[in-house]
A and B are shown apart, each in its own frame.
Chain A
């Protein structure tokens, strides 16, 4: 079974440019999450999708960030325009429907390292 995949693995852009990160969750996982780690600090929650709906977007830093999950499969996270402080590693995670809480686990992708110059 394929795990969570993210593309690209690295992205270097200049301030003011636009970048789109993609996440493909594990097949059948309704829940999809985005997290970000900035400069070796803690990994912070950005938002949570249940299928195509945004369940919780309380961690999104500002309106330069736009996340979508059309069709409830893969998700994209767009940063427009990018700022220097957006640099970091963006992780995507997915989990099964939560009917059985005992099986609960978030499966993480390898992350996308974003550098804004």
Chain B
């Protein structure tokens, strides 16, 4: 069975600081990996995805993630966050069209 672990439920960070949101998954097969963001009172929006190819994936709003097969990780990073990045972030793994999500990480960017 697939599972996704987001190690931090909340991450407070000051504006313009770098941030890393951690995600580990378990899978015995090839995976497709995704990061989604949910801004307050909105739906889930795709940030980036890894399907194949380069292990460093760039997404929208300056976010990037690195797929590490040996460590079964797909951590999300941004070198300098903005107040507008305050949201909840979800890591997901796709297994034959069924998404398995982590429990989410709330990123709180402080001025």
Residues of A within 8 A of B (CB): 3-4, 31, 33, 35, 40-45, 48, 55-56, 58-59, 91, 93, 95, 98, 101-102, 104-111
Contact = CB atoms under 8 A, between A and B. Distances in A.
Contacts of B63: none
B103 A45 contact: no
17 contacts: A4-B43, A31-B97, A42-B100, A44-B101, A45-B98, A48-B98, A91-B43, A91-B44, A104-B51, A105-B34, A105-B46, A105-B49, A107-B46, A108-B36, A108-B43, A108-B45, A111-B43
B6 to A, nearest CB: 8
A111 B43 CA distance: 6
B97 A55 contact: yes
A42 B36 contact: no
Chain B interface secondary structure, helix, strand, loop or mixed? strand
A101 B49 CA distance: 12
Interface residues of B, number: 24
Given A43-B90, A109-B43, A101 B4 contact: no
